[in-house]
Structure 1
Amino acid sequence: MHQAELNRLDDATLAQRARELAAGGSISDPAEFLAVLGIAAERTLGLTPFAVQSQAVLRLVEGDVIQMATGEGKTLVGAMAATGFALSGKRVHVITVNDYLAERDAEWMRPLVEFFGLRVAAVTEKLGPEERREAYAGDVIYGPVNEIGFDVLRDQQVTRREDAVQLPADVALVDEADSVLVDEALVPLVLAGNRPGRESTGQITDVVRHLREREHYTIDDDRRNVFLTDEGAARVEGALGIDSLYDDEHIGTTLVKVNLALHAKALLIRDIHYLVTDGKVALIDASRGRVADLQRWPDGLQAAVEAKEGLDVTEGGRILDTITLQALMRRYPMVCGMTGTAVEATDQLRQFYDLHVSVIDRNKELRRFDEADRIYATAAEKNRAIVQEIAHLNSTGQPVLVGTQDVAESEALAEALEELGIEVNVLNAKNDAEEARIIAEAGDLGRVTVSTQMAGRGTDIRLGGADQSDHEAVAALGGLAVIGTSRHRTARLDNQLRGRAGRQGDPGLSLFFVSLEDDVVTSGGAGENVTARPEPDGSIHSDRIRDWVGHCQRVTEGQLLEIHAQTWKYNQLLADQRVIIDERRAKLLDTPQAWEELAERAPERAAELADHPDREQLARDIMLFHLDDEWAEHLAVMDDVRESIHLRAIARETPIDEYHRIAVREFKDLAQRAVDKAVETFREGTLEEKGLARPSATWTYMVSDNPLAGSGNSVVSGIGNLFR
């Protein structure tokens, strides 16, 4: 059917035509189907898809990760593809990076999805169990990745199937796919339950607080590890009144706590890696420069930072279950996604998910000018130049968006600009609730917006402000100017920032400043002696140095990939073991197997309960309690092993091999132990009679496994005088 004929159909007939084309689980005529979706989008949203958007929808429906530039309309593309999947009979989870985007996009795209008689919903942190259950029963469900993951974990604790909130989904359509599938792929989501607190670490914190760098401890070149010196160890031993930190008695307890306290003191910096708000430590999401509301570090490190700051040390709790974002994504039969920077992540997407990347052309030709990096000898000279450049651009009325590396840097830059009489909108982890409003106005005349990292994802920056009233005036000035205060540890993050300028054929400018003291240079070029002759203002004009800076960034990218690969190896075996537990749990939950196994092992008790009206559920409760308890114990054991596994290297063992050996050994008898304990409980009574109960309170959080990722220039330069 041609476009003109389709346009003449009424709404009901058009929707019916789409259902016919998607009948049987696949789309019989993709071109006509895309035309129907396009007409529906125009009728319901007033948006007419560009040809490149229709192409993007087709690639998503085929299961690719698509790369689309900022401002090219990914939200509509995602909704059209999700609708296409749903019309084919598949339930779709559209996975976002936060609650705001999930709620916004579900409401914005609701008319399109409902045009075809489909149900759309958003899952956010504020919903209760019944509301979640109703939302997950829809056809297209928008939700932040952490909420969907936490619901998986909570559902893994239910003892009656009807208590679960999720229904199986067929497709995960991931927004900001490189962030979710690569950058945060190995972030564990954790479900914890209450238990009595452990002993105080206050004395150790006090001792470590007085240690001095170089005398009592040393830090490696890339500032990821800290080591006690012999003198430092002796001082700690004397203060704690013990003979040796390295005795068997202390190596797995006291030494671990000392190392955690030292890590908190020397490597984790307030306002860079975390904030203190309302008497609590709030982690900063390094990849987005925002408060990571639900994140915390592993219990020991979290407690060490809280003790360092003089705060109440929170109860660690017992980990009941955990799953990484990567393992979560692998639960879906099909994964596809969209982002502005997928090409650089092609290898990881193929290696870990077997996903193909499709690059979608821009609707209009790119007119942004990407200036060569401006390189300076020192951070102080670079920072002065940044302030001067922003002041110059601002004097013309051209809007400027500045991407900084951390909160401290953003605030120091804003202060320096305000001293020059330049009004600045600061977007960082301390005020991210204002994000959408601030970023939407960043393209207005005379605006200067300073943001940490890639704050503002998902919100379009239009020239002339949100209403584009001054579009032509801003375009005449050269469009939005994007300035990076240093190179990121991966070129992909640079490109995410750069992509904020030049949307939909608008003019724009991108410019990065680099100093030879920046983290990416000192870390990537560690051990190399490179000299350059700077100009009087500190600037360096040398192709050789420019190439070397690029080399340093590639080295740091390699370091991050190595960390990813190593972490993946540690996580993968537990992920495989978890699949076995999941399968066992599903059988106990959905079949009479629990009763049958217990009746076989304890026939006398089974005979006593033969007429019990709820005997199968009673058996199920017992079997599931012990299975879950043994799994939680296994996770605790492996967590302890991992925290001390580096000590295996001292004994000339390969840590990862030793970890795998222990994990296999510990898991081998887990299921049998759970059954044996269940039989014992079954023989002697009920869970209540035995004093066994599930935790009375549970909570969820994300573990930041790599707290130093993306640390900024402040570590090198000193926070107080960044832009002086």
Structure 2
Amino acid sequence: MIGLGNFASKFFGSANDRKVKSYQSRVDKINALEPEIEKLSDEELRARTAAFREQLANGATVDDLLEPAFATVREAAKRTLGQRHFDVQLIGGMVLHEGNIAEMKTGEGKTLVATLPVYLNALSERGVHVVTVNDYLASRDAEWMGQIYRFLGLTVGCIVHGIDDEERHRQYACDVTYATNNELGFDYLRDNMKYELNQMVQRGHHFAIVDEVDSILIDEARTPLIISGPVEDRSDLYTQIDTLIPSLSPEHFEVDEKQRSATLTEVGTEFIEEKLKEVGLLKEGSLYDVENVTLVHHVNQAVRAHKLFQRDKDYIVKNRQVVIIDEFTGRMMEGRRYSEGLHQALEAKEHVQIQPENVTLASITFQNYFRLYGKLAGMTGTAATEADEFMDIYGLEVIEIPTNVPVARIDDDDEVYRTAKEKYDAILELIADCKKRGQPVLVGTTSIERSEQLAEVLKANGYRQKDFTDPDAFQPLYDGDQGTAQEKVFAVLNARYHEQEAYIIAQAGVPGAITIATNMAGRGTDIQLGGNADMRIRHELEGIEDGPEREAAIKRIHDEIETLKAKAKDAGGLFVLATERHESRRIDNQLRGRSGRQGDPGHSKFFLSLQDDLMRIFGSDRMDGMLQKLGLQEGEAIVHPWINKALEKAQSKVEARNFDIRKNLLKFDNVMNDQRKVIFEQRIEMMSGEDIAETVADMRHQVVEELVSKHIPPKAYAEQWDTAGLKAKVQEVLNLDLPVDEWAKEEGIADEEITERLIKAADERFARKVADFSPTVMRQIEKAVLLQTLDHLWREHLITLDHLRQVIGFRGYAQRDPLNEYKTEAFELFESMIDRLREAVTSQLMRVELVREAPEPEPLPVMEAHHLDPATGEDEMALADAEYAYSHGGAAPALASSAAVARKPERDASDPATWGKVGRNEPCPCGSGKKYKHCHGKLA
């Protein structure tokens, strides 16, 4: 019975068909322009770019220019590459321009399609990014398609691994930039760790087209990009916590060896809280308060190190180092370390030197990076099965573009065998049959391990694997006289042979060729029946210079390939033989799509056994028993469309589960992403502002107000005021010795008046500093201090959020939603970080002193930089002299803290004339031991 939806689509077409049909009128307009544009000279064609840009400047939109721009690109492609865009490719270009995903079958020319929307959107001069899966494709496409752009007067850049920042800046400044997803993401993170706007390499996120969009935005989206670095030494903390763990008794902790977890019980938590308070590590509140999340993390790792990990079983101590033992092989894993502080906890347990942790300095997921773009589009051969995820996460609609020539491939139903041996026997039989008939075979496997298992099976049956270390390996895979592949030879394409992958794929369409491959997505080279002429010319004619000999050789190769193509077609085209189903239908479709390119004949069939992973997971035991009862003989297979449908349902369940996992991870990452955007926007604002004095003053005033409200609570009686604490805090943070306790005794004084007096005193003190330093130098100092402090606290915040993520799941046991709990606590931590930022910046700027390094005048005063933690008084970080010099084009200034020993010329204690400028808080040069402000610098 036909469903209502199927009945309607039969008469009116599916929603996708109607969408594709809607583009036809614009295709007709582009085609109508072709005769006129063909008559233009190269110079006139190139001049259209300037004319288009002028139209945009005068108020036209890129949509208004679509038809003439697409017609221009088509003509440029004909003149540079000898390729003319088909009508369906024009439709693909429109889909991409609208910010959607164009699903186009293998061999339909996606790389050429992208040139249409790239050119159109590059006219606005805001930069267009074309994203590829590897450096090879980025370089190849930038050079290959770059011919069209350069012909039309656009600049083309390419970002690959290993180029320096200066070169990256130039490449991003181009109209069109080809790059890999990893390089784009890391450049974004690195840019937001820079201290000057002119050091940033990217210039915004206007429009991006992602090639193999399903691979990048779905498969790789599970793993975030992370820039990490060593954290400050925390060995004392590990050691202190380690001394407490042996005092735990069995009722204080629970060990679950199956889950590899060790956790404190309620009694254990209370016990450890008391111990932490005794040694001064837990200042106030409960261990599980949000401000103690890092302490919880370290305690948990110490418990795991002591109660779960055993010496000489899980690790050994060798040369006073903790070395992990591989649980499967029993071998030592030199150089490998447990993450998240566990290895440091083991080092503390074994009393060996504690190495510093590596922590996240910056991170972002691909989902959140690509959502930065104003407009995002993608192209791939297989996106329809993930259409819901693309729409839900990225707002991208998947539109299937019809092929230029109808697909002639025959897709057989799956053959299901009881055992893997029976399956491999059937595969060998089919390979031998194809070999005999001269039909090329692509054998698809799901992993490197499986591809090598199959290679061993073939070798055991008299086949020989092509050795790519052999100098003759790049000779043709066929005997020229017979026009068939060399007898019993096969090639393996997996990650171990990725340098030769383009050659292996190029020869996989030769009659009788046997190629075993893993995942076929993003290979960048199509399997052409008869072989790839360009690849053969490159390898066979290497070293032969242009001339009659080379021309004759090229003609011979083209003629051979035409003959071989005809033989391969007669044999049925490329046979895709899959050895099992992948858990994602998309990967299966990618493999299938390698056959039947551009209307060529082809064949595909999947061979499965009940011992395959997917079949085993989805209840093959019951099926095995049922098949034996039905009398299925050894070597017999079940073949039925119902089996295909059942497998596709199983695959769709796995896909749905994986989508849920990715979506849940994204929900957590979105919390951090919102904070990341705020911080990165603030950094750019700070770097772009010439004068941030107002921001610094606002911070100072807020710090004063918070200090007063903390020590003089609103509506509190005067006798409840903590004026002694306020006085000490003002001295610590603002470096001001003020008679706050005396003010509090004045009749009728209120907290508002004390706040005003403190703000006035702080502003006056800071104004004197500005006058001493000169406003120009002070503005530079303010910016440097603010950016460094923000970065330092943001990195600490990232570590804390990581630790929070690891423990927040336990809230689920208390019937509380971990995501909501994470959002609430992450927000509180962020607010706390902003408070600490204001206090730390204010404290450091109120302490900074100017010290002249030499008596002779210099372009800029020389100072030392330090970053004081207002809570501990410790010097946390310094501004690099070279970086400061680079920023200001002169001798590098730095800042000097009153707590640091400043560099200064020799001083004679008995001669004040040699003292120069003395900091108010410095020891008096006379040698009295008092501060200068209380001795010779005392105000009259």
Cα distance in 2 between the residues matched to 1:410 and 1:301: 36
Q: 1:681 to 1:116 in 2, by over 3 A?
A: same
Q: 1:54 to 1:63 in 2, by over 3 A?
A: same
Q: What's the counterpart of residue 482 of structure 1?
A: 576
Cα distance in 2 between the residues matched to 1:13 and 1:75: 26
Conserved 8 A contact 2:172-2:201: yes
How do 1:556-575 and structure 2 match up within 5 A?
556-575=654-673
Q: Bigger relative contact order, structure 1 or 2, given CA contacts below 8 A and separation 6+?
A: 1
Does the alignment pair 1:147 with 2:183?
yes
Structure 2 residue corresponding to 1:427, chosen from 486, 489, 493: 493
Q: What's the counterpart of residue 679 of structure 1?
A: 842
Conserved 8 A contact 1:194-1:695: no
The CA deviation string for residues 5-30 of structure 1, in whole angstroms up to 9 with x for no partner, is 21111112122235434631424353
Does the alignment pair 1:441 with 2:489?
no
Cα distance in 2 between the residues matched to 1:279 and 1:458: 37
Structure 1 residue corresponding to 2:44, chosen from 4, 7, 13: 13
How do 1:74-89 and structure 2 match up within 5 A?
74-89=110-125
CA positional deviation for 1:298: 6.7
Does the alignment pair 1:137 with 2:206?
no
Structure 1 residue corresponding to 2:676, chosen from 578, 581, 584: 578
Conserved 8 A contact 2:572-2:601: yes
- Amino acid of the structure 2 residue aligned with 1:432: H
Cα distance in 1 between the residues matched to 2:680 and 2:806: 26
Conserved 8 A contact 1:599-1:605: no
Q: What's the counterpart of residue 464 of structure 1?
A: 530
- Amino acid of the structure 2 residue aligned with 1:679: T
Q: What's the counterpart of residue 275 of structure 2?
A: none
- Amino acid of the structure 1 residue aligned with 2:51: E
How do 1:289-304 and structure 2 match up within 5 A?
none
Identity of aligned residues (%): 36
Does the alignment pair 1:656 with 2:692?
no
Q: What's the counterpart of residue 644 of structure 1?
A: 807
- Amino acid of the structure 1 residue aligned with 2:70: L
Conserved 8 A contact 2:208-2:377: yes
Q: What's the counterpart of residue 364 of structure 2?
A: 323
How do 1:142-221 and structure 2 match up within 5 A?
142-195=178-231, 218=258
Structure 1 residue corresponding to 2:136, chosen from 90, 100, 112: 100
Does the alignment pair 1:411 with 2:505?
no
CA positional deviation for 1:536: 1.5
Q: What's the counterpart of residue 712 of structure 1?
A: none
The CA deviation string for residues 449-491 of structure 1, in whole angstroms up to 9 with x for no partner, is 2222225522211111111452111111111111222111121
CA positional deviation for 1:552: 1.7
Conserved 8 A contact 1:113-1:119: yes
Structure 2 residue corresponding to 1:386, chosen from 406, 413, 427: 427
How do 1:389-400 and structure 2 match up within 5 A?
389-400=430-441
Q: What's the counterpart of residue 635 of structure 1?
A: 798
- Amino acid of the structure 2 residue aligned with 1:44: T
**Structure 1: gaps (5+ residues):** 201-214, 219-225, 231-246, 282-295, 305-312, 697-724
Conserved 8 A contact 2:585-2:648: no
Q: How many residues align?
A: 630
Cα distance in 1 between the residues matched to 2:197 and 2:205: 16
Give 3-state SS (helix, strand or coil) of 1:424's partner. Answer: strand
- Amino acid of the structure 1 residue aligned with 2:507: E
CA positional deviation for 1:72: 0.5
CA positional deviation for 1:249: 9.5
Conserved 8 A contact 2:262-2:304: no
How large is the RMSD of aligned CA atoms in angstroms?
Answer: 3.6
Q: What's the counterpart of residue 625 of structure 1?
A: 788
Conserved 8 A contact 2:66-2:120: no
- Amino acid of the structure 2 residue aligned with 1:477: A
Does the alignment pair 1:548 with 2:646?
yes
Q: What's the counterpart of residue 373 of structure 1?
A: 414
Q: 1:400 to 1:160 in 2, by over 3 A?
A: same
CA positional deviation for 1:300: 7.0
The CA deviation string for residues 479-536 of structure 1, in whole angstroms up to 9 with x for no partner, is 1111222111121111111111111111111111222232223334599877531331
Q: 1:302 to 1:146 in 2, by over 3 A?
A: farther
CA positional deviation for 1:131: 0.7
Structure 2 residue corresponding to 1:359, chosen from 400, 407, 416: 400
The CA deviation string for residues 164-197 of structure 1, in whole angstroms up to 9 with x for no partner, is 1111131011111122222223431111123368
The CA deviation string for residues 311-346 of structure 1, in whole angstroms up to 9 with x for no partner, is xx9975221111111111111111111111122222
The CA deviation string for residues 93-145 of structure 1, in whole angstroms up to 9 with x for no partner, is 00111111111100011110011211001000121111101101100000001
Conserved 8 A contact 2:866-2:878: no
Q: 1:677 to 1:120 in 2, by over 3 A?
A: same
The CA deviation string for residues 191-234 of structure 1, in whole angstroms up to 9 with x for no partner, is 1123368889xxxxxxxxxxxxxx9955xxxxxxx56799xxxx
Give 3-state SS (helix, strand or coil) of 1:253's partner. Answer: helix
Structure 2 residue corresponding to 1:253, chosen from 287, 301, 313: 301
The CA deviation string for residues 599-654 of structure 1, in whole angstroms up to 9 with x for no partner, is 45253245324415433232112111121222211211121222233333344433
CA positional deviation for 1:542: 5.4
Cα distance in 2 between the residues matched to 1:82 and 1:302: 49
Cα distance in 2 between the residues matched to 1:197 and 1:374: 60
- Amino acid of the structure 2 residue aligned with 1:20: A
Q: 1:300 to 1:537 in 2, by over 3 A?
A: farther
- Amino acid of the structure 2 residue aligned with 1:622: V
**Structure 2: gaps (5+ residues):** 1-31, 239-254, 264-294, 315-324, 346-353, 464-488, 534-560, 701-761, 849-863, 869-874, 881-940
Give 3-state SS (helix, strand or coil) of 1:101's partner. Answer: helix
Cα distance in 2 between the residues matched to 1:436 and 1:72: 18
Conserved 8 A contact 1:398-1:478: yes
Q: 1:300 to 1:348 in 2, by over 3 A?
A: farther
- Amino acid of the structure 1 residue aligned with 2:359: R
Structure 1 stretch 121-130 or stretch 447-456: which is displaced more? 447-456
Greater Rg over alpha carbons, structure: 2
Conserved 8 A contact 2:229-2:358: yes
Q: 1:63 to 1:456 in 2, by over 3 A?
A: closer
Structure 1 stretch 595-604 or stretch 185-194: which is displaced more? 595-604
Cα distance in 2 between the residues matched to 1:369 and 1:119: 44
CA positional deviation for 1:356: 1.9
Conserved 8 A contact 1:92-1:172: yes
How do 1:274-289 and structure 2 match up within 5 A?
none
The CA deviation string for residues 669-691 of structure 1, in whole angstroms up to 9 with x for no partner, is 22222121122222233644754
Q: What's the counterpart of residue 709 of structure 1?
A: none
Cα distance in 2 between the residues matched to 1:628 and 1:129: 20
Structure 2 residue corresponding to 1:521, chosen from 606, 615, 630: 615
Q: 1:335 to 1:645 in 2, by over 3 A?
A: same
The CA deviation string for residues 146-175 of structure 1, in whole angstroms up to 9 with x for no partner, is 101100000001111111111113101111
Cα distance in 2 between the residues matched to 1:527 and 1:655: 37
Does the alignment pair 1:109 with 2:145?
yes
Cα distance in 2 between the residues matched to 1:581 and 1:439: 47
Q: 1:8 to 1:454 in 2, by over 3 A?
A: same
Does the alignment pair 1:495 with 2:589?
yes
- Amino acid of the structure 1 residue aligned with 2:659: L
Conserved 8 A contact 1:64-1:337: yes
Q: What's the counterpart of residue 736 of structure 2?
A: none
Q: What's the counterpart of residue 608 of structure 1?
A: 769
Q: TM-score, normalised by structure 1?
A: 0.79
Q: 1:280 to 1:463 in 2, by over 3 A?
A: farther
Conserved 8 A contact 1:261-1:301: no
Q: What's the counterpart of residue 310 of structure 1?
A: none
